[in-house]
Amino acid sequence: MESITVNTHGSSYDVHIGEGAYHLFGTKYHEFIRSFDQVVVLTDETVASIHLDLLLQELKPIARQLSVKRIPAGEKAKTIENFYDCQTFLLEQNCTRKSVIVAFGGGACGDLAGFVASTFMRGIPFIQCPTTILAHDSAVGGKTAINHEDGKNMIGTFYQPAAVIYDVRVLTTLSEQEVRSGMAEVIKHALISNPDWLDELMGISSFDDMTMVELKRHLAYGIAVKAAIVEEDEREQSVRKYLNFGHTYGHAIEAAGGYGSITHGEAVMLGMVYELIASERFGNVQKGFTDQFIDYAKHLGYPFPTINRLPFVELLKYMEKDKKASFGAVQFALLDQVGKPFLQVIDADELERLDREFRDRVGETK
Ligand SMILES: NC(=O)c1ccc[n+]([C@@H]2O[C@H](COP(=O)([O-])OP(=O)(O)OC[C@H]3O[C@@H](n4cnc5c(N)ncnc54)[C@H](O)[C@@H]3O)[C@@H](O)[C@H]2O)c1
Ligand SMILES: [Zn+2]
Protein backbone atom coordinates (compact mmCIF):
# COMPACT_ATOMS: atom_id res chain seq x y z
CA MET A 1 0.00 0.00 0.00
CA GLU A 2 1.36 3.38 -0.94
CA SER A 3 0.31 6.55 0.89
CA ILE A 4 0.82 10.15 -0.13
CA THR A 5 0.01 13.02 2.21
CA VAL A 6 -1.53 16.19 0.80
CA ASN A 7 -1.04 19.31 2.92
CA THR A 8 -3.28 22.21 2.01
CA HIS A 9 -3.95 25.42 3.93
CA GLY A 10 -6.94 24.23 5.84
CA SER A 11 -6.30 20.50 5.97
CA SER A 12 -4.03 17.57 5.57
CA TYR A 13 -5.14 14.20 4.25
CA ASP A 14 -3.75 10.94 2.98
CA VAL A 15 -4.24 9.29 -0.38
CA HIS A 16 -3.86 5.51 -0.11
CA ILE A 17 -3.45 3.42 -3.21
CA GLY A 18 -3.18 -0.33 -3.47
CA GLU A 19 -4.94 -3.64 -3.89
CA GLY A 20 -7.15 -4.09 -0.86
CA ALA A 21 -7.07 -0.42 0.20
CA TYR A 22 -10.68 -0.66 1.44
CA HIS A 23 -9.39 -2.74 4.36
CA LEU A 24 -8.13 0.57 5.76
CA PHE A 25 -11.70 1.38 6.76
CA GLY A 26 -11.46 -1.35 9.36
CA THR A 27 -7.97 -0.40 10.53
CA LYS A 28 -6.52 3.10 10.13
CA TYR A 29 -9.94 4.71 9.60
CA HIS A 30 -11.89 2.62 12.11
CA GLU A 31 -12.06 5.32 14.80
CA PHE A 32 -12.67 8.01 12.22
CA ILE A 33 -15.68 6.18 10.77
CA ARG A 34 -16.96 5.44 14.28
CA SER A 35 -16.89 9.17 15.04
CA PHE A 36 -19.81 9.78 12.64
CA ASP A 37 -23.48 9.17 13.36
CA GLN A 38 -24.00 8.03 9.76
CA VAL A 39 -22.09 7.01 6.68
CA VAL A 40 -23.75 7.77 3.35
CA VAL A 41 -22.28 6.19 0.26
CA LEU A 42 -23.02 8.21 -2.89
CA THR A 43 -22.30 5.92 -5.78
CA ASP A 44 -22.43 5.68 -9.56
CA GLU A 45 -25.12 3.09 -10.33
CA THR A 46 -22.89 1.16 -12.75
CA VAL A 47 -20.02 1.00 -10.29
CA ALA A 48 -22.44 -0.01 -7.53
CA SER A 49 -23.82 -2.86 -9.62
CA ILE A 50 -20.33 -4.34 -10.06
CA HIS A 51 -18.32 -3.41 -6.98
CA LEU A 52 -20.48 -2.14 -4.11
CA ASP A 53 -20.07 -5.29 -2.01
CA LEU A 54 -16.31 -4.83 -1.96
CA LEU A 55 -16.80 -1.50 -0.19
CA LEU A 56 -19.78 -2.39 1.98
CA GLN A 57 -18.16 -5.48 3.44
CA GLU A 58 -15.60 -3.13 5.00
CA LEU A 59 -17.98 -0.33 6.01
CA LYS A 60 -20.94 -2.33 7.30
CA PRO A 61 -19.25 -3.81 10.36
CA ILE A 62 -18.07 -0.42 11.60
CA ALA A 63 -20.52 2.29 10.52
CA ARG A 64 -23.06 3.28 13.21
CA GLN A 65 -25.59 3.66 10.42
CA LEU A 66 -25.07 3.13 6.73
CA SER A 67 -27.10 4.08 3.68
CA VAL A 68 -26.44 4.05 -0.04
CA LYS A 69 -27.65 6.53 -2.63
CA ARG A 70 -27.20 5.50 -6.27
CA ILE A 71 -26.78 8.30 -8.77
CA PRO A 72 -26.83 8.06 -12.58
CA ALA A 73 -23.60 6.72 -14.08
CA GLY A 74 -21.05 9.07 -15.58
CA GLU A 75 -21.41 12.72 -16.55
CA LYS A 76 -25.22 12.61 -16.22
CA ALA A 77 -24.63 12.64 -12.46
CA LYS A 78 -23.43 16.23 -12.42
CA THR A 79 -26.77 18.04 -12.70
CA ILE A 80 -28.51 20.44 -10.36
CA GLU A 81 -31.37 17.90 -10.15
CA ASN A 82 -29.08 15.13 -8.89
CA PHE A 83 -27.44 17.58 -6.52
CA TYR A 84 -30.82 18.46 -5.05
CA ASP A 85 -31.89 14.82 -4.99
CA CYS A 86 -28.78 13.93 -2.93
CA GLN A 87 -29.50 16.75 -0.48
CA THR A 88 -33.07 15.46 -0.13
CA PHE A 89 -31.74 11.97 0.51
CA LEU A 90 -29.40 13.24 3.25
CA LEU A 91 -32.28 15.10 4.92
CA GLU A 92 -34.60 12.10 4.66
CA GLN A 93 -31.94 9.95 6.30
CA ASN A 94 -31.75 12.51 9.14
CA CYS A 95 -28.10 13.20 8.43
CA THR A 96 -26.46 15.83 10.58
CA ARG A 97 -23.19 17.73 10.74
CA LYS A 98 -21.79 14.56 12.31
CA SER A 99 -22.42 12.50 9.16
CA VAL A 100 -19.88 11.61 6.50
CA ILE A 101 -20.19 11.00 2.75
CA VAL A 102 -18.23 8.35 0.89
CA ALA A 103 -17.97 8.98 -2.87
CA PHE A 104 -17.74 5.68 -4.73
CA GLY A 105 -17.32 6.12 -8.47
CA GLY A 106 -15.32 7.90 -11.14
CA GLY A 107 -14.62 11.60 -11.45
CA ALA A 108 -18.23 12.48 -12.15
CA CYS A 109 -19.52 10.84 -9.00
CA GLY A 110 -16.63 12.29 -6.97
CA ASP A 111 -17.26 15.81 -8.28
CA LEU A 112 -20.97 15.63 -7.42
CA ALA A 113 -20.45 13.98 -4.03
CA GLY A 114 -17.79 16.52 -3.10
CA PHE A 115 -20.10 19.38 -4.01
CA VAL A 116 -22.94 17.83 -2.02
CA ALA A 117 -20.62 17.36 0.98
CA SER A 118 -19.31 20.91 0.76
CA THR A 119 -22.80 22.40 0.88
CA PHE A 120 -24.92 20.09 3.06
CA MET A 121 -25.40 22.00 6.32
CA ARG A 122 -22.54 24.25 5.18
CA GLY A 123 -20.16 21.34 4.80
CA ILE A 124 -19.66 17.82 6.12
CA PRO A 125 -16.58 15.61 5.62
CA PHE A 126 -16.27 13.27 2.66
CA ILE A 127 -14.00 10.45 1.61
CA GLN A 128 -13.13 9.79 -2.01
CA CYS A 129 -13.06 6.18 -3.20
CA PRO A 130 -12.19 6.66 -6.87
CA THR A 131 -12.99 3.80 -9.26
CA THR A 132 -11.48 5.00 -12.56
CA ILE A 133 -7.92 5.66 -13.69
CA LEU A 134 -8.89 9.23 -14.49
CA ALA A 135 -10.04 9.75 -10.93
CA HIS A 136 -6.42 9.46 -9.67
CA ASP A 137 -6.51 13.07 -10.80
CA SER A 138 -10.02 14.23 -9.92
CA ALA A 139 -10.16 12.68 -6.44
CA VAL A 140 -7.10 14.63 -5.29
CA GLY A 141 -7.01 18.38 -4.97
CA GLY A 142 -10.45 19.32 -3.78
CA LYS A 143 -12.18 20.68 -6.88
CA THR A 144 -15.86 19.78 -6.74
CA ALA A 145 -18.46 20.65 -9.37
CA ILE A 146 -21.70 20.13 -11.18
CA ASN A 147 -22.49 21.34 -14.70
CA HIS A 148 -24.68 24.22 -15.84
CA GLU A 149 -26.40 23.84 -19.20
CA ASP A 150 -24.23 26.73 -20.37
CA GLY A 151 -20.97 25.22 -19.21
CA LYS A 152 -19.27 22.23 -17.65
CA ASN A 153 -18.07 22.47 -14.03
CA MET A 154 -19.44 26.01 -13.77
CA ILE A 155 -20.92 25.49 -10.31
CA GLY A 156 -18.60 24.18 -7.63
CA THR A 157 -16.31 24.65 -4.69
CA PHE A 158 -12.78 24.03 -3.50
CA TYR A 159 -13.33 21.45 -0.77
CA GLN A 160 -10.73 18.88 0.22
CA PRO A 161 -11.67 15.30 1.07
CA ALA A 162 -10.85 13.85 4.49
CA ALA A 163 -9.07 10.93 2.79
CA VAL A 164 -8.74 9.26 -0.59
CA ILE A 165 -8.90 5.46 -0.53
CA TYR A 166 -8.07 4.09 -3.96
CA ASP A 167 -8.47 0.36 -4.20
CA VAL A 168 -7.10 -0.60 -7.60
CA ARG A 169 -8.98 -3.93 -7.64
CA VAL A 170 -11.98 -2.10 -9.11
CA LEU A 171 -10.01 -0.84 -12.13
CA THR A 172 -10.03 -4.24 -13.86
CA THR A 173 -13.60 -3.72 -15.10
CA LEU A 174 -12.98 -0.42 -16.91
CA SER A 175 -13.71 -0.35 -20.64
CA GLU A 176 -10.87 0.14 -23.11
CA GLN A 177 -12.10 3.68 -23.75
CA GLU A 178 -12.09 4.57 -20.04
CA VAL A 179 -8.55 3.16 -19.68
CA ARG A 180 -7.44 5.38 -22.58
CA SER A 181 -9.20 8.36 -21.04
CA GLY A 182 -7.58 7.92 -17.65
CA MET A 183 -4.13 7.17 -19.01
CA ALA A 184 -4.17 10.49 -20.89
CA GLU A 185 -4.17 12.29 -17.52
CA VAL A 186 -1.33 10.05 -16.31
CA ILE A 187 0.64 10.95 -19.44
CA LYS A 188 -0.18 14.63 -18.80
CA HIS A 189 1.26 14.38 -15.30
CA ALA A 190 4.47 12.95 -16.80
CA LEU A 191 4.67 15.58 -19.55
CA ILE A 192 4.51 18.45 -17.07
CA SER A 193 6.90 16.93 -14.54
CA ASN A 194 9.36 14.22 -15.51
CA PRO A 195 11.05 13.27 -18.84
CA ASP A 196 12.29 9.89 -17.53
CA TRP A 197 8.84 8.83 -16.43
CA LEU A 198 7.43 10.02 -19.77
CA ASP A 199 10.03 7.88 -21.62
CA GLU A 200 8.83 4.89 -19.65
CA LEU A 201 5.18 5.62 -20.49
CA MET A 202 6.07 6.10 -24.16
CA GLY A 203 7.45 2.57 -24.11
CA ILE A 204 3.92 1.23 -23.64
CA SER A 205 2.56 -0.04 -26.95
CA SER A 206 -0.76 -1.27 -25.59
CA PHE A 207 -2.45 -0.46 -22.29
CA ASP A 208 -3.52 -4.13 -22.17
CA ASP A 209 0.10 -5.10 -21.56
CA MET A 210 0.36 -3.02 -18.38
CA THR A 211 0.41 -5.10 -15.20
CA MET A 212 -1.53 -3.96 -12.14
CA VAL A 213 1.78 -3.30 -10.39
CA GLU A 214 2.90 -0.99 -13.21
CA LEU A 215 -0.46 0.76 -13.37
CA LYS A 216 -0.44 1.33 -9.62
CA ARG A 217 3.04 2.82 -9.80
CA HIS A 218 2.04 5.22 -12.60
CA LEU A 219 -1.05 6.26 -10.65
CA ALA A 220 0.99 6.88 -7.51
CA TYR A 221 3.45 9.04 -9.51
CA GLY A 222 0.53 10.97 -10.99
CA ILE A 223 -1.01 11.53 -7.58
CA ALA A 224 2.33 12.74 -6.21
CA VAL A 225 2.66 15.28 -9.04
CA LYS A 226 -0.87 16.52 -8.49
CA ALA A 227 -0.46 16.64 -4.70
CA ALA A 228 2.74 18.69 -4.90
CA ILE A 229 1.11 21.24 -7.20
CA VAL A 230 -2.07 21.49 -5.12
CA GLU A 231 -0.03 22.01 -1.97
CA GLU A 232 1.71 24.96 -3.59
CA ASP A 233 -1.37 26.52 -5.13
CA GLU A 234 -4.69 25.15 -3.89
CA ARG A 235 -6.87 27.80 -5.56
CA GLU A 236 -5.30 27.85 -9.02
CA GLN A 237 -3.71 31.26 -8.83
CA SER A 238 -0.36 30.11 -10.26
CA VAL A 239 1.26 26.68 -10.70
CA ARG A 240 -2.01 24.73 -10.51
CA LYS A 241 -2.71 26.14 -13.96
CA TYR A 242 0.03 23.83 -15.28
CA LEU A 243 -2.36 20.94 -14.70
CA ASN A 244 -4.43 22.41 -17.50
CA PHE A 245 -1.86 21.31 -20.07
CA GLY A 246 -3.85 19.86 -22.98
CA HIS A 247 -7.11 21.06 -21.46
CA THR A 248 -7.75 24.38 -23.20
CA TYR A 249 -7.98 22.90 -26.67
CA GLY A 250 -9.11 19.57 -25.16
CA HIS A 251 -12.12 21.08 -23.37
CA ALA A 252 -13.09 22.86 -26.60
CA ILE A 253 -13.07 19.51 -28.44
CA GLU A 254 -15.11 17.93 -25.66
CA ALA A 255 -17.67 20.73 -25.64
CA ALA A 256 -17.93 21.23 -29.42
CA GLY A 257 -18.16 17.48 -30.00
CA GLY A 258 -20.94 17.17 -27.46
CA TYR A 259 -20.15 15.62 -24.09
CA GLY A 260 -20.25 11.87 -24.29
CA SER A 261 -19.12 11.52 -27.91
CA ILE A 262 -15.49 11.59 -26.79
CA THR A 263 -14.25 11.02 -23.23
CA HIS A 264 -12.54 13.76 -21.24
CA GLY A 265 -9.12 12.12 -21.37
CA GLU A 266 -9.32 11.33 -25.08
CA ALA A 267 -10.09 14.98 -25.79
CA VAL A 268 -7.20 16.00 -23.52
CA MET A 269 -4.83 13.76 -25.51
CA LEU A 270 -5.76 15.61 -28.70
CA GLY A 271 -5.41 18.87 -26.78
CA MET A 272 -1.93 17.88 -25.59
CA VAL A 273 -0.81 17.35 -29.18
CA TYR A 274 -2.15 20.79 -30.16
CA GLU A 275 -0.47 22.34 -27.15
CA LEU A 276 2.82 20.54 -27.92
CA ILE A 277 2.72 22.16 -31.35
CA ALA A 278 2.10 25.50 -29.60
CA SER A 279 5.04 24.62 -27.33
CA GLU A 280 7.29 24.33 -30.38
CA ARG A 281 6.28 27.89 -31.29
CA PHE A 282 6.48 29.46 -27.79
CA GLY A 283 8.84 27.07 -25.96
CA ASN A 284 11.67 24.78 -26.97
CA VAL A 285 9.83 21.54 -27.70
CA GLN A 286 11.32 19.89 -30.81
CA LYS A 287 9.15 19.04 -33.80
CA GLY A 288 10.65 15.53 -33.83
CA PHE A 289 9.42 14.94 -30.29
CA THR A 290 5.86 16.05 -31.11
CA ASP A 291 5.76 13.82 -34.18
CA GLN A 292 6.95 10.86 -32.13
CA PHE A 293 4.27 11.67 -29.54
CA ILE A 294 1.57 11.83 -32.24
CA ASP A 295 2.56 8.35 -33.50
CA TYR A 296 2.49 7.05 -29.93
CA ALA A 297 -0.96 8.50 -29.21
CA LYS A 298 -2.36 7.18 -32.50
CA HIS A 299 -0.92 3.75 -31.86
CA LEU A 300 -2.69 3.67 -28.48
CA GLY A 301 -5.99 4.35 -30.25
CA TYR A 302 -6.71 7.98 -29.32
CA PRO A 303 -9.47 9.19 -31.68
CA PHE A 304 -7.79 11.85 -33.83
CA PRO A 305 -10.38 11.70 -36.66
CA THR A 306 -12.85 13.36 -34.24
CA ILE A 307 -11.24 16.66 -35.16
CA ASN A 308 -12.48 16.40 -38.77
CA ARG A 309 -16.04 17.20 -37.77
CA LEU A 310 -15.13 20.15 -35.52
CA PRO A 311 -14.36 23.40 -37.37
CA PHE A 312 -11.89 25.79 -35.78
CA VAL A 313 -14.49 28.57 -35.33
CA GLU A 314 -16.50 26.23 -33.09
CA LEU A 315 -13.44 25.36 -31.00
CA LEU A 316 -12.45 29.01 -30.71
CA LYS A 317 -15.86 29.89 -29.31
CA TYR A 318 -15.33 27.42 -26.48
CA MET A 319 -11.68 28.36 -25.89
CA GLU A 320 -12.74 31.97 -25.43
CA LYS A 321 -15.34 30.88 -22.86
CA ASP A 322 -12.77 28.85 -20.93
CA LYS A 323 -12.62 29.51 -17.18
CA LYS A 324 -8.93 30.18 -17.58
CA ALA A 325 -9.51 32.94 -20.14
CA SER A 326 -9.29 36.41 -18.72
CA PHE A 327 -10.01 39.76 -20.33
CA GLY A 328 -10.71 37.99 -23.64
CA ALA A 329 -7.26 36.41 -24.06
CA VAL A 330 -6.89 32.66 -24.01
CA GLN A 331 -4.26 31.43 -21.61
CA PHE A 332 -2.48 28.11 -22.14
CA ALA A 333 -0.20 25.95 -20.06
CA LEU A 334 2.61 25.05 -22.48
CA LEU A 335 5.94 23.27 -22.16
CA ASP A 336 9.31 24.87 -22.55
CA GLN A 337 10.55 21.27 -22.50
CA VAL A 338 9.08 18.08 -21.07
CA GLY A 339 8.88 18.67 -17.32
CA LYS A 340 9.04 22.48 -17.62
CA PRO A 341 5.58 24.02 -17.98
CA PHE A 342 4.87 27.73 -18.32
CA LEU A 343 1.85 29.95 -19.05
CA GLN A 344 1.31 31.69 -22.37
CA VAL A 345 -1.43 33.92 -23.71
CA ILE A 346 -2.19 33.22 -27.38
CA ASP A 347 -4.28 35.42 -29.70
CA ALA A 348 -6.98 34.16 -32.06
CA ASP A 349 -4.91 34.48 -35.27
CA GLU A 350 -2.12 32.40 -33.84
CA LEU A 351 -4.62 29.86 -32.48
CA GLU A 352 -5.98 29.44 -35.99
CA ARG A 353 -2.53 29.00 -37.51
CA LEU A 354 -1.70 26.37 -34.88
CA ASP A 355 -5.04 24.68 -35.52
CA ARG A 356 -4.22 24.33 -39.25
CA GLU A 357 -0.81 22.90 -38.41
CA PHE A 358 -2.36 20.49 -35.90
CA ARG A 359 -4.81 19.16 -38.51
CA ASP A 360 -2.08 18.80 -41.13
CA ARG A 361 0.29 16.99 -38.83
CA VAL A 362 -2.15 14.56 -37.22
CA GLY A 363 -3.41 13.82 -40.73
CA GLU A 364 0.10 13.16 -42.03
CA THR A 365 1.79 11.00 -39.43
CA LYS A 366 1.26 7.26 -39.68
N1 LIG B 1 -12.28 17.59 -9.73
C2 LIG B 1 -11.25 17.54 -10.53
O3 LIG B 1 -10.16 18.01 -10.23
C4 LIG B 1 -11.41 16.86 -11.85
C5 LIG B 1 -10.29 16.57 -12.64
C6 LIG B 1 -10.46 15.87 -13.82
C7 LIG B 1 -11.74 15.48 -14.21
N8 LIG B 1 -12.81 15.78 -13.43
C9 LIG B 1 -14.15 15.36 -13.81
O10 LIG B 1 -14.17 13.94 -13.78
C11 LIG B 1 -15.18 13.49 -14.69
C12 LIG B 1 -14.64 12.36 -15.50
O13 LIG B 1 -14.27 11.32 -14.64
P14 LIG B 1 -14.14 9.81 -15.14
O15 LIG B 1 -13.35 9.77 -16.37
O16 LIG B 1 -13.75 9.01 -13.97
O17 LIG B 1 -15.60 9.50 -15.66
P18 LIG B 1 -16.97 9.01 -15.01
O19 LIG B 1 -17.04 9.21 -13.57
O20 LIG B 1 -17.99 9.63 -15.88
O21 LIG B 1 -16.90 7.45 -15.30
C22 LIG B 1 -16.79 7.00 -16.64
C23 LIG B 1 -17.62 5.75 -16.87
O24 LIG B 1 -16.97 4.63 -16.26
C25 LIG B 1 -17.89 3.93 -15.43
N26 LIG B 1 -17.09 3.36 -14.35
C27 LIG B 1 -16.53 4.00 -13.30
N28 LIG B 1 -15.78 3.16 -12.58
C29 LIG B 1 -15.88 1.96 -13.17
C30 LIG B 1 -15.32 0.67 -12.90
N31 LIG B 1 -14.47 0.49 -11.88
N32 LIG B 1 -15.64 -0.36 -13.72
C33 LIG B 1 -16.46 -0.17 -14.78
N34 LIG B 1 -17.01 1.02 -15.10
C35 LIG B 1 -16.71 2.07 -14.30
C36 LIG B 1 -18.90 4.94 -15.02
O37 LIG B 1 -20.14 4.34 -14.70
C38 LIG B 1 -19.01 5.81 -16.27
O39 LIG B 1 -19.90 5.25 -17.18
C40 LIG B 1 -15.61 14.67 -15.50
O41 LIG B 1 -16.87 15.11 -15.04
C42 LIG B 1 -14.55 15.73 -15.19
O43 LIG B 1 -15.06 17.04 -15.25
C44 LIG B 1 -12.66 16.45 -12.27
ZN1 LIG C 1 -8.58 16.61 -16.97
List the chain pLDDT tens, one digit each, 366 residues: 999 999 998 889 999 999 999 999 999 999 999 999 999 999 999 999 999 999 999 999 999 999 999 999 999 999 999 999 999 999 999 999 999 999 999 999 999 999 999 999 999 999 999 999 999 999 999 999 999 988 889 999 999 999 999 999 999 999 999 999 999 999 999 999 999 999 999 999 999 999 999 999 999 999 999 999 999 998 898 899 999 999 999 999 999 988 778 999 999 999 999 999 999 999 999 999 999 999 999 999 999 999 999 999 999 999 988 766 666 679 999 999 999 999 999 999 999 999 999 999 999 754
Decide: 251 and 332 in contact? Cβ < 8 Å. Answer: no
Query: How far lies 13's CA from each of 40, 126, 128, 290, in Å?
Result: 20, 11, 11, 37
Query: Residue 114, class by beta-carbon neighbours within 10 Å (0-12 exposed, 13-18 middle, 19+ buried)?
Result: buried
Do 153 and 185 belong to one domain? no
| Residue 297 dihedral angles phi and psi, to the nearest 5° | -65, -35
Q: Indicate if the alpha-carbon torsion angle 264, 269, 270, 273 is positive or negative.
A: positive
Domain closes at, from 172, 187, 204: 172
Instruction: For a ligand 1 pocket test, name from 46, 223, 251 the mutation site with the most ligand atoms within 8 angstroms of its C-beta.
Output: 46
107 annotated as belonging to a binding site for a ligand: yes
Give me the CATH number covering residue 139.
3.40.50.1970
**Nearest listed ligand to the Cα of residue 103:** 1
| Ligand 1 atom at minimum distance from 45 CA | 37
- Residue 360, exposed/middle/buried by CB under 10 A (0-12, 13-18, 19+)? exposed
Q: Based on the fold, state whether residues 144 and 192 are members of the same structural domain.
A: no
The dihedral through the CA atoms of 192, 332, 249, 280 has a sign that is: negative
CA of 251 to the centre of ligand 2 (A): 9
Task: Count structural domains, the chain.
Answer: 2
Round to the nearest angstrom and report the end-to-end CA distance of the chain. 40
What residue owns the CA closest to ligand 1's atom 34?
174
Same domain as 320, residue 248? yes
Residue 226 carries which side chain, given as an amino acid letter? K
Which of 111, 128, 140, 143 should be mutated for ligand 1, with most atoms under 8 A from CB? Answer: 111
